[in-house]
């Protein structure tokens, strides 16, 4: 990875079929300012528009910090300037929604502290993988703030209401083992092997049908939104998949004992 000072505060790095969305403000522990929130939405859209990208991975450019949360140095401006506050709100919402709505699988690779807005960004990803030093917290209660419903829903979706209350009421940081226990993250790996484990898992996902992955992700989102039984949309997805090129390739590969080429 290129040194953190030679790149913008957030940047996109394409690596074959992987898009790495990289937080790169190490001198401020990747604290998210308005400029970074605005950039994230644009970069995610750039990856969305690239047909070669099969998976997006959110990470830090440095090994010992994922994200310390929002840039508190901007908060005095937001107290005084309602227009600046509104621009920031819209930028945060756009960044989170773009990442959550990305049509292909998304992973977060988490090293060190993952706090506040950084934790919310990670929750916008489909899955989260941390190293053994990683710590997690969502801390608006320390600052007299209240997160929006969408951000709170992302936490509740992953850990359930009881654990979400604990995290938000206490505003404490929990370690990687606790985060794994409550379902906030999917796996823990040693610091030295985290990136390779992520790459290996990304390769496993990327070998599968893009059509299947896209609709699996869409179906899970619909279930989380309250849809409980099959409807015309889900039945159409199920039936038309049999006519798709991915299904033909998958069956042919299985029959001929080879890897499918999607």
Cα 224 to Cα 244: distance, rounded to the nearest angstrom: 26
pLDDT tens, 60-99? 999 899 999 999 999 999 999 999 999 999 999 999 999 9
| Spans of all domains in the chain | 4-206, 210-255
CATH for 4-206 is 3.90.226.10
pLDDT at 6: 73
Average pLDDT in the chain: 96
pLDDT at 63: 87
The enclosing H or E element of 166 equals: helix 149-170
210-255: CATH architecture: Orthogonal Bundle (1.10)
CB of 68 closer than 8 Å to CB of 28: yes
CB of 165 closer than 8 Å to CB of 144: no
pLDDT tens, 114-131? 999 999 999 999 999 999
Tokens of 206: 């990327």
Cα 94 to Cα 79: distance, rounded to the nearest angstrom: 21
pLDDT at 7: 85
């Amino acid at each position: 990875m290129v040194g953190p000072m030679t790149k913008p505060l957030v940047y996109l790095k394409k690596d074959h079929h992987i898009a790495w969305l990289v937080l790169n403000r190490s001198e401020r522990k990747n604290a998210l300012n308005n400029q970074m929130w605005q950039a994230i939405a644009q970069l995610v859209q750039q990856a969305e528009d690239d047909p070669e990208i099969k998976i997006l991975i959110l990470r830090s450019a440095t090994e010992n910090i994922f994200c310390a949360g929002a840039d508190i140095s901007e908060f005095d401006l937001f107290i005084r300037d309602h227009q600046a506050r509104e621009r920031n709100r819209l930028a945060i919402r756009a960044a989170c929604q773009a990442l959550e709505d990305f049509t292909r699988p998304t992973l977060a690779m988490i090293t060190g502290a993952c706090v506040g807005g950084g934790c919310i960004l990670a929750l916008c990803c489909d899955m989260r993988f941390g190293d053994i030093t990683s710590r997690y917290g969502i801390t608006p209660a320390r600052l007299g703030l209240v997160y929006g419903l969408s951000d709170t829903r992302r936490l509740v979706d992953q850990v359930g209401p009881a654990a979400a209350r604990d995290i938000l009421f206490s505003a404490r940081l929990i370690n990687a083992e606790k985060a794994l226990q409550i379902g906030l993250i999917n796996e823990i790996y040693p610091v030295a092997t985290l990136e390779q484990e992520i790459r290996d898992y990304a390769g496993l996902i990327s070998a599968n049908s893009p059509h299947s992955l896209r609709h699996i992700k869409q179906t899970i989102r619909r279930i989380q939104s309250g849809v409980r039984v099959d409807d015309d949309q889900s039945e159409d997805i199920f039936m038309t998949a049999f006519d798709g090129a991915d299904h033909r390739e998958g069956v042919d590969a299985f029959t001929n004992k080879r890897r499918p080429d999607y």
